[in-house]
Amino acid sequence: MDLTRMDIHIHNKYSSDAKGSAEDVLREACKKNLEYIAFTNHVPPDPAWLSDLKKEVEDLKKYEIGVLVGAEIGIKDVNGGLFISPKYLSELDFILAADHILPGVPYRYSNGVYFKDPLLENFTKEEVIEKWFKSIVKAIESRLVDAVAHIGWVIVQERVVESLKEVPSEYKKTIAEKAAEYNVFIEVNTSAQLPDEELIKYCLREGAKLVLGSDAHEPSVVGEIEWGLELLSRLGATKEDLASFEDVLKRIEERRKLASNISLKTV
């Protein structure tokens, strides 16, 4: 199976629900023969840990592997906005956008970080799915994200749908088309086993590059991407369908330039 081994979705001690030092993660990544990884600790809150984690990684050059210090950032609204202060959009190595809430749907409880009990009875299922879909597309079109994580997670988690089979095929096709057009990667997430085969097939057909993530919250899970590799192999994916480290670095450079220009305009 000649597919690039990577893990672009890793949490460690800087996420409140995870554990492990940077060295614990890198040691496991090398053991699993990964070509590159990305730390993607949770945001919100803003990544006050960024400089500390970058310094830890800088001091671990003995591990010969590509390393990015990024964040998994929730998409906050139907316009594809992110739960993060704008300055970090150019400081982070890697930005992994995630559908952690239902955009445009009020919640019974939220402290700005955790959301519970969306008021779904105020909307039809179709309306909620449309809001979710628009938020994903707008995040991609912003070009301020490098990849989108576990597409469909929140609508399954909040029981809007039982599976992505209930999401219209044209929505999946549009997500793949937009990802290819704007050079944003789509994550194949082993933990959530998302997205579904139909969306992945559209990505392969439209030329949207894919990345693999374990969603590890402890070092032993880092590099556990076999479900994704086996699925992609069965669907006929080749090495060219996955983003190389060079592909990712190029995407990051494009995003940082755009983010810097936005920051200058808002000063």
Per-residue 3-state assignment (H helix, E strand, C coil) for 88-151: HHHHCCCEEEECCCCCCCCEEEECCCCEEEECHHHCCHHHHHHHHHHHHHHHHHCCCCCEEECC
Average pLDDT over residues 192-208: 98
Could you please state the CATH topology (level 3) that the domain comprising 6-266 is classified under.
TIM Barrel (3.20.20)
Determine the pLDDT at residue 266. Answer: 45
Which of 209, 204, 197 is closest to 242 using CA atoms? 209
- Separation between Cα atoms, residue 65 and residue 37, nearest integer Å: 8
Residue tagged 């909307």 (tokens) = 123
Name beta bridge partners: 212: 188
Query: Tens digits of per-residue pLDDT, 148-170?
Result: 999 999 999 999 999 999 999 99
Q: The pTM is what?
A: 0.96
pLDDT attached to residue 2: 86
Is the pLDDT at 221 greater than 70, yes or no? Answer: yes
pLDDT band at 1 (very low <50, low <70, confident <90, very high): low
Which of 8-12, 80-84, 111-115, 197-201 comes out lowest in average pLDDT? 111-115
Predicted confidence band of residue 264 (pLDDT cuts 50, 70, 90): very low
**Distance separating the N- and C-terminal Cα atoms of the chain:** 49
